[in-house]
């Protein structure tokens, strides 16, 4: 995502802070984004229970992990501390990334604004759409991320 190979139109989210304010939009979720609202920022007034951000690769890709980062601009100490991952081929039917028992995994997120946290998935995914579901956050649901795999 950071290098721009994934188009802006391919990154979408359940909501955006202040109802679609572009400066906080999903395209700001690219790793190492700088400037004001250096992250995707969820709108907690309308979407505080199950926010998500997703990438549609417009074709099947191989995904092995994620790198996450908090919101980069000071003084906004905001980051996702825990998240789950789902994936889909059609955007209608979704599968959870689960452990060996079939329980959806809660992956560890960040502990500050800028430190990169790399998470390897328990198995290689072959999918068209990857969705990240923040389940806990510090101060506000804001994040930047990178997808590890082959596109």
Residue 18: band (very low, low, confident or very high) from pLDDT cuts 50, 70, 90: confident
Question: Cβ(147)–Cβ(125) under 8 Å?
Answer: no
CA distance to 16, 31, 53, 55, 137, per residue, from 46 (Å): 9, 25, 15, 21, 16
Q: What is the pLDDT of residue 25?
A: 93
**Per-domain residue ranges of the chain:** 8-150
Q: 47 pLDDT exceeds 90?
A: no
Alpha helices, DSSP H, located in 5-134: 17-20
Residue 21: band (very low, low, confident or very high) from pLDDT cuts 50, 70, 90: low
Q: What is the pLDDT of residue 20?
A: 57
Q: 4 pLDDT exceeds 70?
A: yes
Q: 140 pLDDT exceeds 80?
A: yes
Could you tell me the two tokens for 21? Answer: 């304010």
Question: Cβ(144)–Cβ(40) under 8 Å?
Answer: yes
Name the CA dihedral angle for 84, 89, 92, 97, rounded to a multiple of 10 degrees: -20
Query: What is the topology classification, in CATH, of domain 8-150?
Result: Jelly Rolls (2.60.120)
Of 7-11, 41-45, 57-61, 63-67, which range is least confident? 41-45
Of residues 58, 77, 67, 64, the one with CA closest to residue 32: 67
User: Which residues, at least 6 apart from 73, have a Cβ–Cβ distance to it below 8 Å?
Assistant: 34, 35, 36, 37, 38, 39
Of 41-45, 67-71, 91-95, 109-113, which range is least confident? 41-45
């Amino acid at each position: 995502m950071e290098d721009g190979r994934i188009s802006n139109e391919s990154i979408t989210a359940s909501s955006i802070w202040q109802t679609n304010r572009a400066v906080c939009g999903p395209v700001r979720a690219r790793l190492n984004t700088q400037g004001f609202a250096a992250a995707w920022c969820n709108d907690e007034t309308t979407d505080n229970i199950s926010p998500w951000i997703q990438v549609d690769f417009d074709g099947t890709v191989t995904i092995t992990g994620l790198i996450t980062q908090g919101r980069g601009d000071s003084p906004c100490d905001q980051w996702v501390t825990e998240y789950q991952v789902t994936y889909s081929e059609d955007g209608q039917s979704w599968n959870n990334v689960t452990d060996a028992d079939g329980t959806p995994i809660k992956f560890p997120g960040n502990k500050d604004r800028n430190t990169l946290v790399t998470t390897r998935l328990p198995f290689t995914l072959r999918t068209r759409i990857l969705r990240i579901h923040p389940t806990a956050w510090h101060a506000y649901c804001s994040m930047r991320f990178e997808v590890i795999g082959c596109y």
